[in-house]
Amino acid sequence: MDPLIINVALTGCVAQKGDNSALPITPEEVAADARRCADEGAQVFHLHARDNYGNPAWGQGIYRTYIQAVRETVPGTVVCASLSGRHFAHFEQRSAALQAKPDLASLTLGSVDFQDGKTSLNGRGLVAGLLKLMAYWDVKPEFEIFDLGHCFRLQELAMDGNLSKPIYVNVILGVSLPWDPALARSVTASYLPGEVLVGVTAIGRDAAMANRWAIRRGGHVRVGLEDSLWMAKGDRATNPRLVERVVGFARSVGREPATVEQARGMLGL
Q: Is residue 221 part of a domain?
A: yes
How many domains is the chain partitioned into structurally? 1
- Whether the pLDDT of residue 201 is over 90: the answer is yes
CA 100 from centre of chain: 17
75-89, 97-111, 201-215, 239-253: range with lowest mean pLDDT: 75-89
Alpha-carbon span 2 to 245, nearest angstrom: 19
Percent of the chain with pLDDT over 70: 99
Q: Is residue 209 part of a domain?
A: yes
Collapsed DSSP state (helix, strand, coil) of residue 223: strand
Q: Is the separation of the CB atoms in 10 and 224 below 8 Å?
A: yes
Collapsed DSSP state (helix, strand, coil) of residue 124: helix
Q: What is the DSSP letter of 98?
A: G
Q: Is residue 58 part of a domain?
A: yes
Contacts of 112 (CB under 8 A, 6+ apart): 119, 120, 122, 146, 147, 175, 176
- Whether the pLDDT of residue 113 is over 90: the answer is no
CA 202 from centre of chain: 12
Which band of pLDDT confidence, cut at 50, 70 and 90, is reported for residue 236? very high
The pTM of this model reads 0.95
Q: Is the separation of the CB atoms in 79 and 103 below 8 Å?
A: yes
18-27, 49-58, 119-128, 191-200: range with lowest mean pLDDT: 119-128
pLDDT digits (tens, 9 = 90+) for 127-136: 999 999 999 9
Q: Is residue 87 part of a domain?
A: yes
* CATH number of the domain where residue 165 is located: 3.20.20.70
Which of the given ranges, 88-92, 158-162, 174-178, 241-245, has the highest pLDDT on average? 241-245
**For residue 110, what are the β-bridge partners?**
none
- Whether the pLDDT of residue 260 is over 70: the answer is yes
Q: Higher confidence at residue 65 or residue 115?
A: 65
pLDDT digits (tens, 9 = 90+) for 85-107: 677 778 899 999 999 999 999 99
Which band of pLDDT confidence, cut at 50, 70 and 90, is reported for residue 204? very high
pLDDT of 59 reads: 86
pLDDT of 85 reads: 63
Q: Is residue 97 part of a domain?
A: yes
pLDDT digits (tens, 9 = 90+) for 115-158: 776 777 888 999 999 999 999 999 999 999 999 999 999 999 99
Question: What is the widest separation between alpha-carbon atoms in the chain?
Answer: 48
Contacts of 233 (CB under 8 A, 6+ apart): none
What mean pLDDT is reported for the chain?
A: 94
Alpha-carbon span 11 to 18, nearest angstrom: 13
Nearest to 259 by CA among 247, 242, 245: 247
CA 212 from centre of chain: 17
Range of the structural domain that residue 182 is part of? 6-267
Q: Is residue 1 part of a domain?
A: no
